[in-house]
């Protein structure tokens, strides 16, 4: 049910899509090796005039170091790589140099035994049975389509390599070898191609290894990669161009699930069926994704040495509950409260259409309740994360904070009406020891008492100039409209919680309510008007968290950033947040195939924080939903991306 209420020229909706010496430290945030240093606080004009230039920060390594690789994988160190050729077919031209970040690649092609295990687990599509000569356990898993290859790599917590990654590994990186073993011509002792006995694939690893200790990078089975196919790199119609150049090229549409004008994916390395010349590292074969002939196989890659297999470690080995929080020191409180109100939110005009939000306009409706009905799917990943919480939207933040046992919480939103809702909830939470009595106080007939209580709680902020003097007046006009409806919905959550909500929803879980209340009592929850896209809210939060010496463990953006193209400012805001190895990002996306199907309208995404920051740094990533191709989809609703998991 949607209830639109007109107020101040804005529609208030109760159910709708979410918007878009220092103090003692806890576990410090681990900075991302390639992340830029956090921006300094802006000096006053007088200070800027007299300030001396700060020393340049120490240079950080350009490439991540190789770590111990997962079983049967090798590390391919970051650096330059030679791609393409000038003397081969047009599709390989021209020869050029790119840069490829450190990654990990399977030492061998995926075998029948390995793929069969994925089939048996119900995670991979069934193959057409291969003939007996091609079906031994240690032979490469042929026939296999691109979709099958993608599903298998996903199941083992890996991904398909990009064409640039695959070619770098095959050609020895900057050496640019013609073949994995060098520039010498192929023989049947070097690769399994047409004319080599026994006229079938060989067990993987039967022939000597090539560059980086990899086996069968030439011959045996053609190998699918992530990239969409193009007729050439440069110099022909529909060339790949810039998408195949620079740092970590990923081809057209960055290899996204769909790409207008493209229907074929790339295969590399030649096979037992074709001439040996097709084993050259530069060779490219293009085939439709659903082609699965008896010569197509795969090997998988990983960005990090930690594989995102299922189930995630956080589920199988829950984190211990953090110790109770205490009232922070005055210095810590000053650092926490240094986050500014973002005046920009008062200048953003409404968009033309309801449920629309863009860089330069906001949704004309206010969303005072979430319509993401299955947020409890995130509970196992939230439990006891600790650290700091950063989130937007309405009261769902309290369920996340209670589940994570966050030590500090920064709640902001670009819609002032949402933050005014939080002012009311803060006043009521502080006044009531349990959720039942708090909700009882929200009856419509209590509107004036609730307004008086909230107004009193805002006096200090008004005196300090943090919020406008007319804020209580604005709040009063809105509160009188929504309080009764909010009470009825909250009351159902307290007295008749839906399945799965007890233990997650802060209104259905007294221990979560008490925890949130204790944080408010200690001054550890901050409410601010703020915009994800500007240089105020997220940068100030990053500075505050670093000053406090605490990592941001949970970032919740709802579906706000799924509605617009990623800006460079937003990219930087996210990269500068102090994440560590326990940080996660929670997002939702609307799946257009399932709109109207209750909880299955949404995809619920949980992404490893450090991997998220690596991904967001890619300039070709323009839409958040494109990240989902690297995730694991569970029951068509929950998507996990790069979460460390149990080894297969």
What pLDDT score was predicted for residue 641?
A: 86
570 phi-psi bin (left φ>0, alpha ψ -120 to 50, beta other) = alpha
What pLDDT score was predicted for residue 366?
A: 83
What pLDDT score was predicted for residue 401?
A: 99
Helix and strand numbers, DSSP H then E, in the chain: 17, 20
Find out if CATH 3.90.1580.10 is the number for domain 73-302: yes
The burial class, CB within 10 Å (0-12 / 13-18 / 19+), for 209 is middle
What pLDDT score was predicted for residue 647?
A: 55
What pLDDT score was predicted for residue 645?
A: 77
What pLDDT score was predicted for residue 311?
A: 74
Backbone angles phi, psi at 617, to 5 degrees: -75, -15
What pLDDT score was predicted for residue 41?
A: 37
Q: pLDDT of 31-70, one tens digit each?
A: 333 333 333 333 333 333 333 444 444 444 578 889 999 9
Q: How far apart are CA 383 and CA 368, in angstroms?
A: 25
What the block records as the tokens of 86 is 């000038």
What pLDDT score was predicted for residue 619?
A: 77
What pLDDT score was predicted for residue 350?
A: 79
What the block records as the tokens of 368 is 């005072």
What pLDDT score was predicted for residue 592?
A: 52
For tokens 């110790």, name the residue: 323
**Low-confidence residues of the chain: pLDDT under 50:** 1-13, 15-60, 593-600, 648
Q: pLDDT of 588-609, one tens digit each?
A: 987 654 444 444 478 899 999 9
Q: How far apart are CA 530 and CA 540, in angstroms?
A: 10
User: What residues does each domain of the chain span?
Assistant: 4-18+310-641, 73-302
E strand or H helix at 391, and its extent? strand 388-391
- Three-class SS string for 199-267? CCCCCCCCCCCCHHHCCCCCECCEEEEEEECCCCCCCCCCCCHHHHCCECCCCHHHHCCCCCCCCEEEE
Angle between helices 537-548 and 568-575 (to 10 degrees): 10
């Amino acid at each position: 049910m949607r209830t639109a209420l007109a107020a101040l020229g804005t529609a208030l909706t109760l159910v709708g899509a979410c918007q878009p010496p220092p103090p003692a430290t806890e576990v410090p945030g681990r900075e991302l090796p390639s992340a830029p240093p956090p921006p300094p606080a802006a000096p006053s004009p007088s200070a800027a005039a007299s300030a001396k230039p700060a020393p340049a920060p120490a240079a950080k390594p350009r490439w991540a170091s190789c770590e111990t690789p997962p079983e049967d994988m090798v590390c391919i160190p970051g650096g330059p790589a030679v791609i393409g050729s000038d003397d081969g077919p047009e599709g390989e031209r021209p020869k050029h140099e790119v840069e490829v970040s450190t990654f990990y690649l399977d030492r061998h092609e995926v075998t029948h035994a390995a793929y069969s295990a994925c089939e048996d687990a119900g995670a991979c599509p069934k193959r057409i049975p291969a003939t007996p000569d091609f079906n031994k356990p240690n032979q490469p898993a042929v026939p296999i389509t691109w979709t099958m290859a993608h599903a298998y790599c996903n199941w083992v917590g890996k991904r398909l390599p990009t064409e640039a990654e695959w070619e770098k590994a095959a050609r020895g990186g900057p050496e640019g070898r013609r073949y994995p073993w060098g520039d010498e011509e192929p023989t049947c002792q070097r690769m399994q191609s047409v004319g080599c006995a026994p006229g079938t694939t060989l067990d993987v690893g039967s022939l000597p290894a090539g560059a980086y200790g990899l086996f069968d990078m030439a011959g045996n089975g053609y190998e699918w990669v992530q990239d969409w196919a193009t007729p050439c790199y440069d110099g022909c119609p529909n060339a790949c161009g810039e998408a195949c150049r620079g740092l970590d090229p990923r081809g057209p549409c960055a290899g996204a699930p769909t790409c207008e004008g493209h229907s074929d994916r790339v295969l590399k390395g030649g096979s037992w069926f074709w001439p040996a010349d097709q084993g050259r590292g530069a060779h490219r074969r293009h085939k439709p994704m659903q082609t699965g002939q008896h010569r197509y196989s795969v090997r998988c890659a990983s960005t990090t040495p930690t594989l995102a297999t299922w189930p995630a470690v956080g589920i199988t080995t829950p984190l211990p509950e953090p110790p109770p929080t205490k009232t922070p020191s005055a210095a810590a409180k000053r650092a926490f409260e240094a986050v500014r109100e973002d005046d920009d939110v008062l200048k953003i005009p409404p968009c033309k259409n309801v449920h629309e939000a863009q860089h330069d306009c906001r949704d004309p409706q206010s969303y005072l309740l979430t319509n993401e009905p299955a947020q409890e799917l995130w509970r196992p990943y939230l439990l006891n994360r600790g650290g700091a919480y950063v989130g937007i939207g309405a009261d769902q933040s309290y369920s996340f904070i209670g589940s994570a046992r966050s030590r500090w919480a920064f709640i902001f939103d670009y819609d002032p009406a949402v933050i005014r809702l939080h002012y009311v909830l803060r006043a009521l939470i502080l006044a009531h020891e349990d959720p039942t009595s708090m909700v009882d106080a929200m009856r419509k007939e209590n509107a004036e008492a609730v307004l008086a209580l909230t107004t009193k709680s805002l006096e200090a902020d008004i005196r300090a100039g943090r919020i406008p003097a007319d804020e209580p007046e604005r709040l009063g006009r809105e509160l009188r409209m929504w309080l009764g409806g909010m009470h009825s919905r909250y009351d159902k959550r307290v007295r008749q919680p839906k399945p799965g909500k007890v233990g997650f929803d802060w209104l259905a879980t007294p221990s979560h309510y008490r925890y949130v209340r204790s944080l408010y009592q200690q001054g550890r929850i901050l409410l601010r008007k703020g915009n994800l896209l500007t240089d105020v809210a997220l940068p100030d939060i990053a500075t505050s968290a670093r000053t406090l010496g605490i990592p941001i463990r949970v970032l919740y953006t709802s579906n706000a950033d799924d509605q617009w193209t990623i800006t460079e400012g937003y990219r930087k805001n996210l990269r500068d947040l102090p994440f560590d190895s326990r940080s996660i990002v929670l997002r939702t996306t609307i799946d257009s195939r399932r709109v109207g199907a209750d909880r299955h309208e949404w995809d619920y995404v949980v992404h490893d924080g450090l991997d998220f920051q690596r991904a967001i740094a890619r300039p070709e990533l323009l839409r958040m939903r494109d990240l989902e191709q690297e995730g694991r989809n569970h029951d068509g609703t929950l998507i996990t991306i790069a979460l460390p998991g149990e080894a297969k």
